[in-house]
Amino acid sequence: MTGAAHGLGRAIAERLASDGCSVLIADVQRDDAHRTAEEIRARGGQATPLALDVSNEAAVTAAYADIDARFGRLDILVNNAGISGERAPVESMSRSAFDTTVRINLTSTFLMSRGAIALMRRNRWGRIVNMSSLSARGVPGRNRSNYVASKAGILGFSRVLADEVGRDGITVNCVAPSRIVTALTIAMAAGNNEYFERGAAETVVGRIGEPVDVAHAVAWLCSDGASVVTGATLDVNGGTSMI
């Protein structure tokens, strides 16, 4: 899975490893990927670090060739790598800021998914889970056109891919979290508890999510129990939005 060294990605990797999966910790931050893999192995799980820039087509192609040579199969792909990107109104956002966010969030999902299909098709079984966002589900927020466009694009892309590969035994779904307590959001809050209090107040369950909440959702979509669920979006937002 991608973006697996920290935050949501790490929680998902830990959950899948606890379910018996052999997990590839793919992340652009090489040292952190190694550290996360080591800690999963220390708890009895199977994990291998993979330094990877998911937005680089040549790097993705080389990574899949390596996965094929070393493991000979791929059953699950979780496209979690992404950035929030620069915030600015459309009229003042630079082309570079828009393109960078779309490339890292959306284009990487395309590249990774495209590479996974052939390996999954061999065994006529596969699970692709793409990380979208509440922002793409009707609560976008201002000054985030680059981020929202990339996350909404993931929803549309996933539906098309689900239609294309369903008869190959491959399902494709999205998870759309709202505000989650991670190191990144804690840093964004910068000590302002109102950031989290406001997020909790917007839910109907009275709290915002933890990374493990997202991990449970992803794990279910990867299970045999979700074998007829495809082209769907699972919202993990505490009822902030119900659509």
* Residues identified as active-site: 147
Q: What share of the chain is helix, strand, coil (3-state, %, to 5)?
A: 50, 15, 35
Distance CA 235, CA 243 (A): 9
Among 80, 19, 16, 18, CA closest to 54 = 80
Residue with tokens 């590479």: 115
Local structure of residue 135 (DSSP, 8 states): G
The pairing of strands 46-51 and 170-177 is unpaired
Q: Where are the strands (E) in the chain, listed by range?
A: 22-27, 46-51, 76-79, 126-131, 170-177, 233-236
Query: Using the 8-state DSSP alphabet, how is residue 209 labeled?
Result: B
At residue 44, what are phi and psi to the nearest 5 degrees? 95, 0
Contact status, residue 75 vs residue 116, Cβ threshold 8 Å: no
